[in-house]
Amino acid sequence: MTSKQSVTLWHNPRCSKSRGALELLRERGVEPTIVDYQKNPPTVAEIEHALKLLGRAPRDLMRKGEAVYAELGLDDPSLTHQQLIEAMAEHPILIERPVAFANGKAAIGRPPEDVLAIL
């Protein structure tokens, strides 16, 4: 594998899993494009695209332990996928991290080694 491979990482530098995934990529000669998704939140369209690549539902990408999840009542089963995606776009702390993108695929780095599957 060469470092020319295009990898993007939705990253939170304060998260040990996110730092671990970044380290694993760098150990393999991959320098990803790092997106600090809390400072530069993904758009609704970018979150929809990520979910499509992941093959997951919106709640699968959400950090349910975050206070804002409870505050916004996001466990309400009547909420639509669109409402959940909009909540993530508005409150990026809700997005599980890290998320790596490469080769038309995506992976949530929990555990961090999971990001290597898409290389």
When pLDDT is cut at 50, 70 and 90, the band that residue 5 belongs to is confident
> Is residue 75 within 8 Å of residue 69, measured between CB atoms?
yes
When pLDDT is cut at 50, 70 and 90, the band that residue 4 belongs to is low
Round to whole Å and give the CA distance between 67 and 107: 25
Round to whole Å and give the CA distance between 63 and 67: 9
Q: What share of residues in the chain are helix, strand, coil (percent, to 5)? A: 45, 15, 40
> Is residue 98 within 8 Å of residue 108, measured between CB atoms?
yes
Question: Is the pLDDT at 2 greater than 90, yes or no?
Answer: no
User: Model pTM?
Assistant: 0.93
% of the chain with per-residue pLDDT over 90:
96
Domains in the chain, CATH or no CATH each: 7-118 (3.40.30.10)
The active-site residue, picked from 8, 15, 53, 118, is 15
Q: Which residues contact 50 (CB under 8 A, 6 or more apart)?
A: 10, 42, 61, 99, 101, 106
Averaged over 56-85, what is the pLDDT?
98
Q: What is the pLDDT of residues 10-67, one digit of tens each?
A: 999 999 999 999 999 999 999 999 999 999 999 999 999 999 999 999 999 999 999 9
Distances (CA, A) of 23 to 19, 37, 38, 112: 6, 18, 20, 9
User: Locate tokens 């594998």: which residue?
Assistant: 1
15 is catalytic: yes
